[in-house]
């Protein structure tokens, strides 16, 4: 799969031109609210919201929920699981996608819905996955050879959609470099 987030190869430099500019464009769609989403995505986001409330986030007080729709019909949820030894915790997105990989190793993830709620203030802007989670999502997108649509939001307000991890992680590192 020629993944759109990969660096274009071969990268040729001609003669005296040592520096080339390479412009990367990403595309997001933004919905005004959950109610604007297609019905099936609303349901998935609703599952992410339910999962979010069960997050174990006593340290950050920032609860995140994720829900995945698999092509086999199953829905997988995840939420952040924190730890007193901070790096031992894990984000909602990776909890969910690793669970999907463990329980349904041959299924493909079609869609991921993500929502976050701070216990300190109202979260009204879309909350994208962190860099580490983007890398994990990219691995599964490349593995399954089909894009994962990612919808993300705060507690209320607009919902952003990336049609592929390529739009959230340009120039990703993948197996093609190994």
Residues that bind Zn ion (CB under 5 A): 91, 130, 133
Question: What residues pair up with 116 in beta bridges, in sequence order?
Answer: 64
Task: State the nearest-atom distance from the C-beta of 64 to Zn ion, in Å.
Answer: 8
Alpha helices by DSSP H, the chain:
39-53, 92-103, 131-144
Question: Is 93 a residue of the active site?
Answer: yes
Q: Identify whether the C-beta of residue 123 lies closer than 8 Å to the C-beta of residue 116.
A: yes
Q: Identify whether the C-beta of residue 4 lies closer than 8 Å to the C-beta of residue 170.
A: no
Task: State the nearest-atom distance from the C-beta of 17 to Zn ion, in Å.
Answer: 39
Q: Is 11 annotated as a binding residue?
A: no
Q: Identify whether the C-beta of residue 127 lies closer than 8 Å to the C-beta of residue 115.
A: yes
Q: Identify whether the C-beta of residue 52 lies closer than 8 Å to the C-beta of residue 117.
A: yes
Task: State the nearest-atom distance from the C-beta of 54 to Zn ion, in Å.
Answer: 17
Catalytic residue among 53, 93, 139, 145: 93
Q: Which residue is nearest to Zn ion (CB)?
A: 91
- Pick 42 or 81: Cβ nearer Zn ion: 81
Catalytic positions are 93
Query: From the annotation, which residues make up the binding site for Zn(2+)?
Result: 91, 130, 133
């Amino acid at each position: 799969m020629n993944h759109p987030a990969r660096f274009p190869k071969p990268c040729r430099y001609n003669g005296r031109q040592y520096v080339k500019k390479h412009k990367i464009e990403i595309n997001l769609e933004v919905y005004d609210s959950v109610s604007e989403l297609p019905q099936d995505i609303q349901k998935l986001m609703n599952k992410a919201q339910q999962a979010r409330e069960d997050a174990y986030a006593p340290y950050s007080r920032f609860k995140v929920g994720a829900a995945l729709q698999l092509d086999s019909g199953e829905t997988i949820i995840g939420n952040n699981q924190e730890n007193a030894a901070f790096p031992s915790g894990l984000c909602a997105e990776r909890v969910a996608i690793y669970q999907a990989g463990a329980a349904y190793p041959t299924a493909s993830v079609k869609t991921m819905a993500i929502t976050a709620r701070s216990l300190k203030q109202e979260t009204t802007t879309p909350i994208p996955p962190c860099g580490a989670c983007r890398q994990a999502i990219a691995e599964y997108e490349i593995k399954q050879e089909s894009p994962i649509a990612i919808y993300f939001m705060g507690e209320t307000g607009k919902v952003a959609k990336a049609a592929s991890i390529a739009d959230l992680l340009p120039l990703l590192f993948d197996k093609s470099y190994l």
